Amino acid sequence: MAVAAAPGAATSVRDADALAWRAVGTLYNALVTALVVSLVVRRGEETARAYVFRHFRRQHLDRFLGGLDKLGLAGQPHAVACALYHYHSNALGGVATEYVRVSDAKAWVRYPPPRWMWRGTAIAAIPHAVSAAMLHGWHGHNGVTLGNPRLGFVCTGMTVDGLPGLEGYYLEHDRPLAEHERVRFAYGEETMPPFDPAAAPRLEVAAWPKERLARTRRRYAMDYVRTLIAELEGLLGTHEASVELARAARLTGLQFFEEAADGLLAAPPVADGRAAHARAFADWLAAMLAAQGEAVRVDADGAGVRVALAHWKLGAGLGLADPCAALMAWQALWAGAGAAYDRFLRVECSAAPAADTAAALWRVLPRA
């Protein structure tokens, strides 16, 4: 489903779909950042560090080996394969990454600013240990997963520490590494050599249509949020996870609605809760849900509008203790967006169990 563009705009259905995919990526990227910043401030650095570690360890275990095969890297030397994995997979997600091969046993990877994970000025709130947890969760575990106890990662800089990017190299040592040696910080010892894009390896996906790349980048952000929902519950328990997710989600919806709605839904000149605004926002909400692969139905509901979601695919298969609680926390993102669009609208949501996930019904109501 596509939303009509603002009056006077010439946006085709295909263009609107691409804008919706981009909007989903924008909102979910911002939500991931907001959640970590909120944990740092409200729960402390150690809780935020534990969450980031769990997040990236889960993603590593779920995706790394399969990703090596899909990217055609399984036959490469381990250090090279690991660096290329990050280089290619992040590029597919729309995240700038650089790569330099030194030898079969040493290969660099660099994430230049701006960092996707720490959107905008939020990076100033991320402690060293919280950023480093990503490396411990993923990069330091590659050797374990590959059955190569000599493979480790040497980090030579992180953006959160004021350096011009997160960079480091995979190195195959001449002896097995202890767990605490799998990630080593070596600021000032080395820096990544210049990256030459023309000489860098290319994937066949360089020829993909823009639409396919846009969908891939949307999926990249969605996967982060799926992991967020599952690992936050695992760390804090259902109730506390719902509290933290709902707070971060609502604030993200309030703060990023304007950017996410750009080209799709213009803010009304006057926020007054009229019925036309309820319909316009309900259509935008349905388009956002459809853009992430959800099946939705939009119906009139008296003076308001209903948006029905029979099966919450985003939360399916996560093994959640209470999918309804997770859905209600996640939907605060859309409630926040509605308040930013027209603060006099009422965006109500209810959830019910549905197979291994939940169903949702929104009612977008005009001002009484």
Give the domain ranges of the chain. 15-207
pTM over the 0.85 mark = yes
Answer yes or no: is pLDDT of 205 > 70. Answer: no
Instruction: Specify the pLDDT at position 12.
Output: 52
The SS3 of residue 168 is strand
Instruction: Specify the pLDDT at position 161.
Output: 98
Answer yes or no: is pLDDT of 6 > 70. Answer: no
Instruction: Specify the pLDDT at position 207.
Output: 61
Answer yes or no: is pLDDT of 11 > 60. Answer: no
In a 13 Å sphere around the CA of 71, the CA atoms on its Cβ side amount to 25
pLDDT higher at 364 or 1? 364
Residues 6+ apart with CB under 8 A from 86: 97, 99, 109, 139
Cα–Cα distance for residue pair 316/318, rounded to 1 Å: 6
Cα–Cα distance for residue pair 207/2, rounded to 1 Å: 26
Instruction: Specify the pLDDT at position 340.
Output: 98
Residue-wise pLDDT tens digits, 134-188: 999 999 999 999 999 999 999 999 999 999 999 999 999 999 999 999 999 999 9
The SS3 of residue 183 is strand
Q: Which pLDDT band, with edges at 50, 70 and 90, does 7 fall under? A: very low
Cα–Cα distance for residue pair 210/226, rounded to 1 Å: 24
Residue-wise pLDDT tens digits, 287-339: 999 999 999 999 998 889 999 999 999 999 999 999 999 999 999 999 999 99
Answer yes or no: is pLDDT of 5 > 50. Answer: no
Kindly report the average pLDDT of the chain as a whole number.
Answer: 93
Q: Which pLDDT band, with edges at 50, 70 and 90, does 8 fall under? A: very low
Answer yes or no: is pLDDT of 2 > 80. Answer: no
Residue-wise pLDDT tens digits, 85-140: 999 998 888 888 999 999 999 999 999 999 999 999 999 999 999 999 999 999 99
Instruction: Specify the pLDDT at position 152.
Output: 98
Cα–Cα distance for residue pair 154/132, rounded to 1 Å: 11
Spell out the CATH class of 15-207: alpha beta
Instruction: Specify the pLDDT at position 213.
Output: 78
Query: In angstroms, what CA-CA distances link 183 with 14, 78, 97, 171, 232?
Result: 45, 16, 19, 10, 24
Residue-wise pLDDT tens digits, 59-75: 999 999 999 999 999 99
pLDDT mean over 205-217: 74
Q: How many CB atoms lie within 10 A of CB 219?
A: 18
**pLDDT above 70 coverage of the chain, percent:** 95
Query: What is the amino acid identity at position 61?
Result: L
